[in-house]
Chain A
């Protein structure tokens, strides 16, 4: 137990000292939030969604920041692999389970930091929700991020430290764009169908929970998030096993 905590602390120190990660997970979404949401502060139903602009963009940009935070483990893993440090860790008593638990916990802590910072920014722009709705919204976002926790580990085992930055940035941008982080995807066309098959869409849809909707995801949302979770976890564990078999 002690060694798990020691390793987690160490991971947190490394993460907080990585300026790039902090910029993309925290500073960037908050600045964009004020730039995009402030001019539309009084828009009560953004794009006919029934969600106010400050609330929609709060969760939209939080989805961007938290996805970045979840994938940041990929950067740390790729750096460790490039340096051969993962092999050094494998000859310590630290177990594989403890290793990944620390990686995922660090990502989630960074993601929650990003999320709470955007909540604070949202409150400044007039987002006012019941306490229970804040909590259920946060819960859905945490669940919706599970596939991104696995994707971080997957990316970390597939690319080298040199290319992990663009890999993480590109993955986040793609999921954010197609999932509706920047603007609502409506109209029933191809892009809306595509969006509904992505976990990022459902992270953004958690904002409906903030409005007090009891089942904002419905069966489709839970199914999509569950399938993405299963597939990404399977791929990540395969990538890890393959990586440990080579010289």
Chain B
């Protein structure tokens, strides 16, 4: 048994599962995940599209009931934490309602909470003074994202949840966004953000949780994750050899064919390239590069499976 004080300091997702019925059969979006997050941590939830990140976030926020498992936010149910104004979130769907100004929108949201931040403080914090009196339907994609960020912050949440927050932003917008996020986190806030950029996790999170196909496949400091997913990819022109044969080469975890070209994902590229050249000397146009996150996920999930 945990003492009350331990659970009060944590966010806990325990044994969560969620499936959806679709016309093409059931989709098992989340297949039993356990995550606990200490108060004050900044955690990145990493994963490719379809990994189950948004479904997990919806269950954490109480927007979606899990099929099984439970969630507590600092000792409370999601519904109670939301009712107490302890949770702020920037959800994935990227629009705001129209016919109101940015300031009116933020002021209305502030009035829904018991201990909201002053509207001007939020506007200053997010840096939207210049568009505060503009109608929401006249904003650019990046400006809309910043307004949504302000909406997430206005309740002065203990837990801030950001679901792929930088999607519509340019490089400069991203930098400004993350520096605000850091400033906010430094007030002792807990932050969970979903992203499919490994760099964002590396630069801004204390910890990264990797999800793929509804499972947590890795969990640890971002540097450790980066090392673990340090796989490489070999490309070569090699017609006539099946992907099954290529996949059996030492050091290769997975092989794909694109026309005459093949793509080999390798746990050990040194071993793999020697094996490739000795077995199939006709291979040409060789290229070895570091894997991107998609490759890393395929590597990690194939190890787990």
Q: Which of B62, B97, B104, B113 has the most CB of A within 10 A?
A: B97
- Interface bits A1-44 vs B (CB < 8 Å: 1, else 0): 01100110110011001100000000000000000000000000
Pairwise interchain contact B100-A10, C-beta atoms closer than 8 A: yes
State whether B61 touches A3 (Cβ < 8 A).
Answer: no
Q: Which residue of B lies closest to A88 (CB)?
A: B91
A129 interfacial contact with B, CB 8 Å: no
Interface check B139, CB cutoff 8 A:
no
Query: Could you tell me the dominant secondary structure of chain A's interface residues?
Result: helix
Majority secondary structure, B binding face = loop
Indicate if the CB atoms of A247 and B55 lie closer than 8 Å: yes
A88 to B151, Cβ gap below 8 A?
Answer: yes
Q: A79-B97, A93-B83, A247-B20 known; A84 and B91 CB under 8 Å?
A: yes
User: Given B61, B96, B100, which contacts A13 in the complex, CB threshold below 8 Å?
Assistant: B100
Q: Is B162 an interface residue (CB 8 A)?
A: no
B87 at the interface (CB under 8 A from A): yes
Q: Within the complex, what minimum Cβ distance (angstroms) separates A243 from chain B? A: 12
10 A-B pairs closest in CB distance: A84-B93, A6-B111, A83-B95, A10-B108, A17-B99, A92-B112, A3-B112, A14-B99, A85-B97, A93-B83
The residues of A with any CB-CB pair to B shorter than 8 Å are 2-3, 6-7, 9-10, 13-14, 17-18, 79-80, 82-85, 87-88, 90-94, 244-245, 247
Task: Enumerate 29 A-B pairs (CB-CB under 8 Å) in ascending A order.
Answer: A3-B113, A6-B111, A7-B111, A10-B100, A10-B104, A10-B108, A13-B100, A14-B99, A17-B100, A18-B99, A80-B97, A83-B97, A84-B92, A84-B94, A84-B95, A87-B63, A87-B91, A88-B91, A91-B82, A91-B89, A92-B85, A92-B112, A93-B83, A93-B85, A93-B113, A244-B63, A245-B64, A247-B54, A247-B58
